[in-house]
Each structure stands twice: as C-alpha cells, then as structure tokens.
Amino acid sequence: MKPGTVLVRNGTLITLGERNRIIEKGSVLIRDGVIAGVGRGVGRVAGATVIDARGRIVMPGFINAHTHLYSAFARGLAPKKPPGDFVEILENLWWPLDRALNAQDLWYSALIGLLDCIRSGTTTIIDHHESQGHQAGSLDVLARAFRRIGLRGCLCLGVSDRHGRGAEGLAESVRFLERVRGAADDRVCGMLGLHALFTVGSATLANVVAAAKDLGCGIHAHIAEDKADQVHSRKRYGQSVVERLDQAGGLGPGTLAAHCVHVSRAEIGRLAAAGAMVVHNPQSNMNNAVGVAPVPALLRAGVTVGLGTDGMTADMRDEVRAAHLLQKHHLKDPAAFLAESCALLLQNNARIASRLFGRPLGVLASGAGGDAVIVDYDPPTPLSIRTFAGHFLFGICGARVTTTIVGGSVLMHNGGICGMDAERIAALARRQARSFWRRF
C-alpha cells in the first residue's frame, strides 16, 4: 500500500515518547511514510490529504507485542473435550486447531484479525504463528495479508517438535527471514520463533539458537506460561525454563519472552541481565487460569515488559485496562499499577517494536513511523500530563477510534474502512471457517 502525504490538523496531540507532550490545536504531517512535522507550527502542504481532527485526540497507533492471528477461527469453536487444565486446553483445542489449518484458513484469519486491529487503532502487531499442518510458505501468506491490509507486522513461526516437524518449521523461518531482510517494504519484519521450551528438544533448540545468531535476529517464545512448563523442564533437563534457554545461548536483547507467569526471582535476574524483553498477556492468563505474572518484580529488576493480547482481542485498550485491574486485585492495593499499566502499552511496547523494526514507533515525532489514530474523546475534566493516565484508562480506552493511519496510508477514516470491502472479506471468512470447522 503506497503511502501518501497526510496532514492531520486541529487535534489535541498526545505525542508519547520519552518527553510526552499534549498539544492543543496541533497538527501531524506524514510524508513518505514518516512523520515530518508535529506541533502548532505545521502548515498545509500542497497535495496533502488533509484530515480535520476537530479537536479530538490524536496519538500514535497502538502496538500489540504478542498475538496469534491464526486463532481467529476458534471463536465459537468448542474443544474436542472439556479441558481440566492448561495442557489439556492445548491438547484439545489449540494443537488440533493449528494442525488443521491450511493456506486459505491462514489468509482469512489474518485478514479478519488485521481489520479488527484497524478498527481499534492497533497499527503494529508482533505475531507468533502456529500451523503445524501447513508450515512451508505459511509466513508468506501472513506477510501478504499484512501488505494487503496495510499494518506493520513482525512475524515468526513457533518451531516445535510436538509433531516431529521442528526441522521443517525452522527451514520455513530461515527462508522467510532471508527474504524479508532484503525487502524494500519496511512494514513486515521477522524473528525466529519457538512454540515453548516444553515442546522443543535439545537439538531443535540448539539449531534455532544457531540460526538466530547467523541471521542476527531475536527469538520469540512462550516462556513459563503455565507451571507445567517449569515442571517439564526441571524433570527432563534439570533446569528452569529461563535457565535452559539462557544456557543454550537463546537469551539476549533480542529475546521476546511471552507470559513469564511462573518465573522465579533467579529467572527474573537472568532475564534482566540478558536485556531480554517480556510480554504480559493478562486476559489470556486469566482466561486459561494459569496465574498472574510477576510484572512489578520484573519492572523493578529493570526488565522491559510490554503488553500483548495472545489472540484474545485486537484492542490494546481492553488489554491495558485488564492489566491495570488484575494487578490491583492481585496485590490487594487500590493505589497500585496505574502508571505502570500505561507504561507497558504506551512506552514499553514502543521500545520493543522500535527495536524490532529498526525505526522509532509509538511516538508522534519527526522521523518516527507515520502511524497515528484519532480517538473521539472530548475530555470532561482538565487534560494534562499529570492527569493523562486517568484520562487514558478511564476515557480514551472506552472511546471510539475514528481514523487509523499506518505509514501515511489512511486505513480507516470517520469509522469507515478505506480501500477494501470489509463486509465481503467477513462473508468469505465465515465460509472458510465452516470448512475449517468440519476439518477440525
């Protein structure tokens, strides 16, 4: 999708970034996919598409640091038998599902998920893909969906030995990474993926780590989501999950560790020392009844903790409110985790995405990626840097996103999806889902 020159004017800008500013009656100019100007002094530009924000909130697009587009067809789908714990959820729903997926399923699952992102103002997602029944070429299908819809995506395939296809998964990952590394399109990048360490043997783990070093990329993996991961690791390898990954050479600044619900103090220290990034997924953790991640302890140790949805929703504002409320409830402290929950989404996700994409994201600043949203929120009380967190969690999070811009491309304006027939895509997806459900 070719970016144009876009001028968003007359908005209440929330710039975010290290020096967050609130600018009333401000403008954002996006040229060649990059923000070229921010503030009150930005004037009209010949040939620009002009969008009047009418005083509403203009801020960077939201970033999802861990999700699963392939999960879209699970909506309404019952497990093969009622699960009693997390491992049984995997065995009776997610593993049969990802083994039954074909290329058409992946295509429509991705389109539906990405359209939902546009509607909720999510402009960048870090996707962890699984399709054990269709691995070769699967990442190309997803990349094509991202380019068709226009969002930014960092993709990986969760390499796993659970069906004896770890080598095939790694080959697909390496092929895809070598392809996107030399591409001119900066909207799609990649990582190497591991499903989880309890489904990966020693040889496959070593091969993934070696490939990551050869390619100069990070590893995206589920880490200690459930106690079963730790039990398996200690019983079979005599090590904790994080210790095993670290000793294999897979823990470093490029590591994206999803969940980390059941990590010890020593493991938190290893994560911090390695500069690894962690992604908190509170709604998924509650839904699967696996526990509450020790996010405050991770933050105190200096770990960059971001926020993901794990496929539960496309709307990051749902997730940040869940993170806020869950920690308050868990800590039994009504004063806890207001600023921290906002930081997970609005600061740390930007740091994670900027590191992966190699350009500033999640900020309205010159030189940053040209991603912005307009939110139909008219503050009923004074809005300032001091009051922003309260306005965000209890106002902006519940307001309608009216306009979504990614890399200078207007994907939604005044609530209408631009340049594609969303209703037709939904109808075709429903037809494909019926086929998938029969195969499942």
Instruction: Give the tens place of pLDDT for each residue, 357-392.
Output: 999 999 999 999 999 999 999 999 999 999 999 999
Yes or no: say if 226 and 197 are a contact pair by the CB < 8 Å rule.
no
pLDDT digits 0-9 by tens, 210-238: 999 999 999 999 999 999 999 999 999 99
Residue 45, number of CB atoms within 10 A of its CB: 15
Instruction: Give the pLDDT of residue 2.
Output: 57
Pick the closest to residue 305 from 323, 275, 280 (CA basis): 280
Mean pLDDT of 322-349: 97
192 three-state secondary structure: strand
Mean pLDDT of 189-207: 97
Per cent of the chain over pLDDT 90 is: 95
> Using CA atoms, how far apart are residues 70 and 184, in angstroms rounded to an integer?
26
The overall pTM is greater than 0.85: yes
Paired with 126 in beta bridges are 154
Residue 49: enclosing H or E segment and its boundaries?
A: strand 49-52
CATH code given to domain 62-357: 3.20.20.140
Give phi and psi for 326, each to the nearest 5: -60, -45
Instruction: Give the pLDDT of residue 389.
Output: 97
For domain 6-61+362-407, the CATH superfamily is Urease, subunit C, domain 1 (2.30.40.10)
Mean pLDDT of 181-189: 82
Confidence label for 185 from pLDDT (cuts 50, 70 and 90)? confident
Instruction: Give the pLDDT of residue 44.
Output: 81
Give the C-alpha distances (Å, rounded to integers) separating 175 from 151, 211, 292, 356.
Answer: 22, 11, 36, 18
Mean pLDDT of 1-30: 92
183 pLDDT above the threshold of 80: no
Mean pLDDT of 77-102: 95
Mean pLDDT of 329-349: 97
| Mean pLDDT lowest among 181-190, 251-260, 285-294, 303-312 | 181-190
65 three-state secondary structure: strand
Yes or no: say if 373 and 405 are a contact pair by the CB < 8 Å rule.
yes
Domain with CATH 3.20.20.140 in the chain: 62-357
Q: Tell which wins on pLDDT, 2 or 292.
A: 292
Torsion of CA 115, 118, 122, 125, to 10 degrees: 40
Instruction: Give the pLDDT of residue 186.
Output: 81
Instruction: Give the pLDDT of residue 1.
Output: 47
Mean pLDDT of 288-298: 98
pLDDT digits 0-9 by tens, 53-88: 999 999 999 999 999 999 999 999 999 899 999 999
Give the C-alpha distances (Å, rounded to integers) separating 152 from 71, 163, 177, 401.
Answer: 19, 31, 16, 18
Domain with CATH 2.30.40.10 in the chain: 6-61+362-407
